[in-house]
Structure 1
Amino acid sequence: MAPRNEAGHRSAALRRVLIPLALAQFICSFAGSNMNVMINDISEDLDTSVQGVQVAITIFLLVMAALMIPGGKLTDKYGRKRCFTVGLVIYGVGAVMSAAAPGLGILILGNSILEGVGTALLIPPVYILTTLLFTEVTSRARAFGAISAMGGIGAAAGPLIGGLITSAISWRAAFVFQALVIAIIVVLARNITDPLPPDRTRPFDTGGAILSAVGLVLIVTGILAADNNAWLMITLIIAGALVLVWFLRSVRAKERAGTEPMLSTALFRNRTSNLGLVTQNTQWLLLTGVSFVVAAYLQVVRDYDAVETGVIFTAETAGLLAASLAAERFAKRHAQRTLILAGFLVVIGGTTVLLALVSRTPNVWAFAPGLLLIGLGLGVMLTPSVNIVQSAFGEHQQGEISGLSRSVSNLGSSLGAAIAGTVLVAGITSTPERSYALAMVVLAAVGLVGLVAATFLPRTGSPSGPAQQAISSVQTEFTAPPHKDVSSPFRRPWRTPRR
């Protein structure tokens, strides 16, 4: 009986740890989508434009994407629990500042900058701690499923929750809600114990952090400039690409010199992980892009208020929640490649339905079938994509791969708001129906890119039983003994988590 009781206590302890981690992913995803239904309220209250609110939303997503890689590396040096807590505090301060913002500038400082920095610090520890604490394949898949589901639900339900709060009180109260949730997470996070001690001797590649951040910022800024100046757009995108090439060259130079760079090139030698990163990027691009386009169209073109706009998104939330609840059952019966392929097909079908039905009828409920399909498709494939990437590397690279994985996902979110939003905003007042249709076509094309990438994922065969062989093929490196480690020579030796 003792071993069984001990296992039960351990399982209960892990569930208590999972709650604040999942809540953290929920509130950060919520922050990325809830402002979509406040576009009119914020622009009127702060005397700004729809494009000004779009810029604030995009900067928030961009700051997360640009700083997620450095945030992941800092967890190795200062500890996962400490970075998680500091990130929560910074996020909370930003939420309070946003709630009291007298103008767009302070809103950008509080929401876009401080909340973005806080998210970049607290999200990598969520995935690192999950990987290290949930060592058994099935329990880890279940934990990632819960976290990914909360992230997807936060993004999908953000418009509804934000709309209800905005209509009942004001848009400022939505930021107070965020601050309250952060306070709850801080209290619940006291139960979290870091399974690995911080390594203060671990170097931090400041130059690499700056180069990677600047490159990403230039590219997304270039996309935002597309509707104003084509030459500026091209210049910024080319400049961003050159900076990222410079960053990669500096990474190789540091590895040849035997020093630790911001990212190890070994992360990009895993074909399965690379494909998983592509699917993650396109999934979040689709989720954020659809959310912004539909919300902006309903408010600016059809003059819906925040709560009416949010109610329409219940279809997407319901689809995502239903698929997420069935994620564990799907994982036991189907290979992860199959789930991702099916998810993209359903999402592409959803965007097609949104395009076809909405253009033929003024009835707002024409949005519901397409949003439901998009929610179902995303719910099916979010967890497999995360698990494929996160489980492809050993514990010594969890800081790096978590930062890279979250950076790629948040870059997808920022690109979704930037690309689809720019296409829509460019003609929303002159040719709204045409701009909406064009934005949906762009999103459907992105879905096709993700579908093609998913076809190249390895066929893993049918899973059998709770071991979930669907993810076993990407677990080999994580469970490999020390002599299987192929990392750079300056990496730390293999260590197992302390219990």
Structure 2
Amino acid sequence: MADHVTTGRPSKALRRVLVPLALAQFICSFAGSNMNVMINDMSKDLDTTVQGIQVAITIFLLVMAALMIPGGKLTDRYGRKRLFTLGLVVYGVGALLSAAAPGLGVLILGNSILEGVGTALLIPPVYILTTLLFTEITSRARAFGAISAMGGVGAAAGPLIGGLITSAISWRAAFVFQALVIAAIVLLSRHVEDPLPPDPTRAFDTGGAVLSSVGLILVVSGILATDNNIWLMLGLVAAGSLVLLWFFLSMRAKERAGKEALLSTSLFRNRTSNLGLITQNAQWLMLMGVSFTVAAYLQVVHGYDAIQTGVIFTAATVGLLASSLGAERFAKRRAQRTLIMGGFLLTTAGIVVFLTMVSLAVSKDLTSAWVFAPGLFLIGLGVGLMLTPSVNLVQSAFGEELQGEISGLSRSVSNLGSSLGTAIAGTILVAGITATPERSYGLALAVLALVGVVGLAASAMLPRTPAPVTTAQEATA
């Protein structure tokens, strides 16, 4: 990667650029988790059900996953800074619309659609710009560590911040808070410069964008339909898989014909990147799945209000901050593969500890909120430990010419994990598979622990040393 990107730029200038990028990741992750503690308040105020709010949350995550790949590709044509700013504006409008929503339909339009579209436009530039501006492994690890920390804090502290705002004012004020943060990011991002010029002549694969979006929507819609009709679920998942296969075959055909495809198929021939994408999907599936399950458990079973639920989640936030902010130091001492494996071990162990402590509390009729803290702390510690090396590993596997594509694919896979985490956990809870509520929530967490085992297996297959960077010339070849 070209060294001229950072030549002559003082570290203070780079830190100033990093602030709005990290804040952007924070607010998008916050939006995906803060609604978990507002479920009861929102459902009553909007005259809907808990399942209705779950649908709104899942659609938001799904829109991000479906549009992240096209959003990443558009950065090559229109520029990373321009897409970043446009995404912020769309997101801000959606947040204000959500704050004034009279019913579930308007909430879905503002929060699920507009905020989802805005996120899909602004998040790929965050990771592309970071990769281009920070060229050394340790400095990039520090930058991604800050961004991942803010993203993880947004997801983990979302319940606390959302709970405080909901209890002090109302759930609508939480969306006003988002709009204010967006306004601050717009002001701070004035110093962000695009290191690569946009190419307005760059073709955009509209057909590929439609196929990828439709395929992802069908797959997750199938997961959501599990508690309604098993045959509908199988049909939607099968249809989505076929559409995604069609999408891949169409990309390969366009490349052979010398046409511009939405994604280069070479992205899927990099073993390191493929395994890294699997770990990213599993990480966010676990984080969002645990967040939704635990928040619902505390409110529905134990009757905690929004602020009480948020305070309990502080343990996860502390753990996540402690490990994420040490990303640069860890990168110097340990291989990325080791850090990712350690993260999955800690997160899975945290789920086991949480289930064990809850089981003991129920059997002994203990009501102290402290019984939830050890497990949540370990979960946050584990997630924070592996988020940064996974992102760094995937982004660093490709040259600057492919950053738009791999950033879109990486964020799409991560957000697909987020939507699947909420969908799978929510489906198990709504289905009421077991006779008692505690066992239903325990089953949901057990499934998430199994995902951790899959992630651990994938991380164990990662190379011990960094793989060669794939360039655009190699991709074409």
Structure-2-length-normalised TM-score: 0.96
Once the two structures are superposed, residues 168-226 of structure 1 have per-residue CA deviations (whole angstroms, 9 ceiling, x without a partner) of: 00000000000000000000011011111110111100010010001100110110110
107-116 vs 429-438, greater mean Cα deviation? 429-438
The range that moved more, 188-197 or 323-332, is 323-332
In structure 1, what residue type is equivalent to 2:122?
A: L
Q: Which SS does the other structure have where 1:360 is aligned?
A: helix
Match in the other structure for 1:391: 396
> Is 1:239 paired with 2:231?
no
CA offset digits 1:456-477 (Å, max 9, x no partner): 00112xxxxxxxxxxxx24x42
Specify the alignment match of 1:412 in structure 2.
417
Report the equivalent of 2:475. Answer: 487
Alpha-carbon distance in structure 2 between the residues aligned to 1:100 and 1:429: 38
Counterparts of 1:23-42 in structure 2, within 5 Å, are: 23-42=23-42
Partner AA of 2:474 in structure 1: V
Pairwise CA distance, 1:9: 5.4
Moved over 3 A (4+): 6-9
Task: Work out whether 1:451 is the aligned partner of 2:456.
Answer: yes
Matches within 5 A, 1:1-400: 10-362=10-362, 363=367, 364-400=369-405
Q: Paired residue for 2:3?
A: none
Q: Distance in 2 between matches of 1:432 and 1:406?
A: 34
> How much does 1:429 deviate?
10
How far is 1:34 from its partner?
A: 0.3
Tell me the distance in 1 between the aligned counterparts of 2:247 and 2:45. 41
In structure 2, the CA distance between the partners of 1:204 and 1:8, relative to structure 1 (3 Å rule), is closer
CA contact (8 A) 1:16 1:191 kept: yes
Q: Tell me how far 1:10 sits from its aligned partner.
A: 2.0
Tell me which amino acid in the other structure corresponds to 1:365: W
- Whichever residue aligns with residue 136 of structure 2, its letter is E
Q: CA deviation at 1:302?
A: 1.5
Q: CA deviation at 1:137?
A: 2.4
Which one of 422, 428, 434 corresponds to residue 427 of structure 2? 422
Q: Helix, strand or coil for the counterpart of 1:98?
A: helix
What is the Cα deviation at residue 40 of structure 1?
Answer: 0.4
- How far has the Cα of 1:7 moved from its partner? 7.3
Q: Equivalent residue for 2:469?
A: 477
Q: Quick one: distance in 2 between partners of 1:365 and 1:423?
A: 26
Looking at structure 1, the residues matched to 151 and 388 of structure 2 have their Cα atoms a distance apart, in angstroms, of 10
Partner Cα distance (1:141, 1:32) in 2: 24
Q: Structure 1 stretches of 5 or more lacking a match?
A: 1-5, 461-472, 490-499
On the 8 A contact 1:301/1:429 being kept in 2, the answer is: no
Supply the AA of the counterpart residue of 2:412: S
User: Following the alignment from structure 1 to structure 2, what is the Cα–Cα distance between the partners of residues 326 and 239?
Assistant: 43
Partners of 2:344 and 2:469 in 1: CA distance: 27
Q: Equivalents in 1 of 2:374, 2:8: separation in Å?
A: 43
The question of whether the paired residues in 1 share the 8 Å contact of 2:224 and 2:424 is answered with yes
Opposite residue 190 of structure 2, the aligned amino acid is: R
Distance 1:339 1:390 in 2: 16
Could you tell me whether the CA contact under 8 Å between 1:287 and 1:413 is conserved in 2?
yes
CA contact (8 A) 2:138 2:332 kept: no
Please say if residues 58 and 414 of structure 1, whose CA atoms lie closer than 8 Å, have aligned partners that are also in contact: yes
88-97 or 356-365: bigger deviation:
356-365
Q: Deviations over 1:367-425 (max 9, x none)?
A: 11110000000111100000000000001100000000000000000000000111122
Answer whether contact 1:159 1:313 (CA < 8 A) is retained.
Answer: yes
The farther-off stretch of 151-160 and 360-369 is: 360-369
Q: Which amino acid aligns with 1:477?
A: V
In 1, Cα distance between equivalents of 2:147 and 2:378: 21
Q: CA offsets per residue over residues 44-72 of structure 1, 9 Å max, x none?
A: 11111111111000000000000000000
- Give the superposition deviation at 1:325: 2.1
Q: Distance in 1 between matches of 2:205 and 2:146?
A: 33
Q: 2:357, 2:137 → 1: CA distance?
A: 42
Identity of aligned residues (%): 77
How far apart in 2 are the matches of 1:457 and 1:366? 35
Q: Distance in 2 between matches of 1:451 and 1:93?
A: 40
> What is the alpha-carbon distance in structure 1 between the residues aligned to residue 176 and residue 151 of structure 2?
20
Distance 2:90 2:111 in 1: 11
1:467 maps to what in 2? Answer: none
By how many angstroms is 1:136 displaced? 2.4
Structure 2 alignment gaps of length 5 or more: 1-5
In 2, Cα distance between the equivalents of 1:31 and 1:197? 31
**Is the 8 Å Cα contact of residues 279 and 450 (structure 1) preserved in structure 2?**
yes
- Partners of 1:301 and 1:428 within 8 A in 2: no
Q: Once the two structures are superposed, what CA deviation does each residue of 1:68-104 show, in whole Å capped at 9, x if it has no partner?
A: 0000000000000000000000000000000000000
The 3-state SS of whatever aligns with 2:198 is coil
Distance in 2, matches of 1:332 and 1:177, equals 37
Q: Give the whole-Å Cα distance in 1 for the aligned partners of 2:444 and 2:162.
A: 24
Q: Could you list the per-position Cα deviations for residues 250-280 of structure 1 after superposition, in whole angstroms to 9, with x for gaps in the alignment?
A: 1111011110111110001110010000000
Separation in 2, partners of 1:379, 1:452: 19
* Match for residue 441 of structure 1 among 420, 443, 446: 446
Partner of 1:469: none
Over residues 313-363 of structure 1, what are the superposed CA-to-partner deviations in whole Å (9 max), with x where a residue is unaligned? 000000001111222211111111111111101111011111111122143
CA distance in 1 between counterparts of 2:35 and 2:433 reads 18
